[in-house]
Structure 1
Amino acid sequence: MEDEHMMSIPKDPLSRDELSGDALRAFFNLAASWELSELQQRALLGGPPDASYEAWARGAHEHIDDDVLIRISYLLGIYKALHILLPDPVQADGWIRRPNMAPMFAGNTVLEFLCRGGLSELREVRSYLDGQDAIT
């Protein structure tokens, strides 16, 4: 099933390594903006092995697998959508930590929803935000 939000992932090694580095740098910048704990970062990245996560956190941006690239793509889309819908950066970055009464979140925070889920939860939040004219 093709998803309109999915990024195109290059297959050649040089492009793939460059994309891996760019994606991980963007993810760790997003993690800093959202003030994510290491546990939250690992959950959002799909629970990578300790050695991989630690290498990425140190700045080693070797080739990462498709699942991680797709997760980062969704997260960056969520980040971008929030900053479009909520032009105040503090509000945009804080939205994921506020309880949300939308049925899919059931009063939990969006971050809790994302951290306990997989790709489908990332896709759902991205689609949810894309369908909003404004959020609170």
Structure 2
Amino acid sequence: MTPSGAALRTFFNIADTWSLTTEQAMTLLGLTSRSTFFKWKGNPESARLSRNALERLSYIFGIYKALQLLLPKPESADACVRKSYKLWLFSAAGLYNALISNKIYKWHEVCLMSLSSTLSFQLLLTT
């Protein structure tokens, strides 16, 4: 098992959970080639991910985990991606639109704000 293969398997599971279309998943991966996308999906071990792709995946994994911690019901956390909330940086656009905008600096902010909100929420529960 390669790190790229494990990362892609995880990504495709998250993409399914978030009900992403092929085009949306490709955008999050930074891909323009459908053939590469389906090759990676069919055989994740064949992929050799670039540093950029690994960075994208690390943000997606961080956001996914933060949402799971913030909203302990998995279905609520997963649905959160599609809903528009006036939270953090997203304004009315919603988390998904912040991700699909394909601006990595926004992903960094989304990930940090998701984790920050999770920690704040957990602190409220313990005090």
TM above 0.5: yes
Q: Given that residues 98 and 110 in structure 1 are in contact (C-alpha distance below 8 angstroms), is that contact kept between their aligned partners in structure 2?
A: yes
Q: Which amino acid aligns with 2:5?
A: G
Counterparts of 2:15 and 2:88, CA distance in 1: 26
SS in 1 for 2:2: helix
- 1 or 2, which has the higher helix percentage? 2
Q: What is the CA–CA distance in structure 2 between the aligned matches of 1:59 and 1:120, rounded to whole Å?
A: 29
Listed as ranges, the matches of 1:109-128 within 5 Å are: 109-128=94-113
Change (3 A) 1:96 1:60: closer
- Corresponding residue to 1:97 among 72, 82, 101: 82
CA distance in 2, matches of 1:18, 1:111: 28
Q: RMSD of the TM alignment (CA)? A: 1.5
- Give the drift of 1:78: 0.6
In 2, Cα distance between the equivalents of 1:119 and 1:77?
A: 13
> What's 2:125 paired with?
none
**Counterpart residue number, 1:108:** 93
Q: 1:103 to 1:93 in 2, by over 3 A?
A: closer
One-letter amino acid of the structure 1 residue matched with residue 58 of structure 2: S
Partner of 1:8: none
Secondary structure in 1 matching 2:81: helix
Unaligned runs of 5+ in 2: 122-127
Q: Is the 8 A contact 1:46 1:118 kept in 2?
A: no
Identity %: 31
> Could you tell me how far 1:122 is from its partner in structure 2?
1.3
Residue 102 of structure 2 aligns to a residue in which SS?
Answer: coil
Report how far residue 85 of structure 1 moved: 0.8
